């Protein structure tokens, strides 16, 4: 059995790992309020940028996803991160 998740709610801050298509550099730290940005390569050899967010609540997460959408950046995944 995996490690249990801390119970989340709509208003408590949490850290998320957000993967997007393509390559972004560290100059996007401030824009996305990221703790870290890393570029990985998926199984098909495509660049994927992983953003580890600062602690944010659900409304801030939705705002970040909306910003990605408005920039035309394809969202691959969003997952709750056990690293805080």
- E strands, 1-84, where? 16-21, 34-41, 47-53, 75-80
Range of the domain at 58: 16-80
Q: Is the pLDDT score of 84 beyond 50?
A: no
Give the pLDDT confidence score for residue 30 in this predicted structure: 84
Q: Where residue 33 sits, what CATH number does that domain have?
A: 3.30.70
Is the residue at 5 inside a domain? Answer: no
Residue pair 24/56 in contact (Cβ under 8 Å)? The answer is no
Percent of the chain with pLDDT over 90: 52
Provide the number of structural domains found in the chain: 1
Is the residue at 34 inside a domain? Answer: yes
Is the residue at 7 inside a domain? Answer: no
Q: Which two tokens stand for residue 78?
A: 């969003």
Is the residue at 64 inside a domain? Answer: yes
Q: Is the pLDDT score of 10 beyond 50?
A: yes
Region 5-13: mean pLDDT is 72
């Amino acid at each position: 059995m995996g490690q249990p998740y801390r119970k989340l709610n709509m208003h408590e801050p949490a850290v998320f790992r957000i993967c997007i298509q393509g390559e972004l550099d560290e100059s996007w730290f401030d824009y996305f309020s990221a703790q870290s940005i890393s570029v990985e390569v998926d199984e098909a050899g495509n660049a994927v940028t992983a953003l580890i967010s600062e602690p944010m609540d659900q409304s801030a997460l939705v705002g970040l996803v909306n910003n990605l959408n408005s920039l035309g950046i394809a969202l691959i995944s969003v997952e709750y991160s056990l690293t805080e």
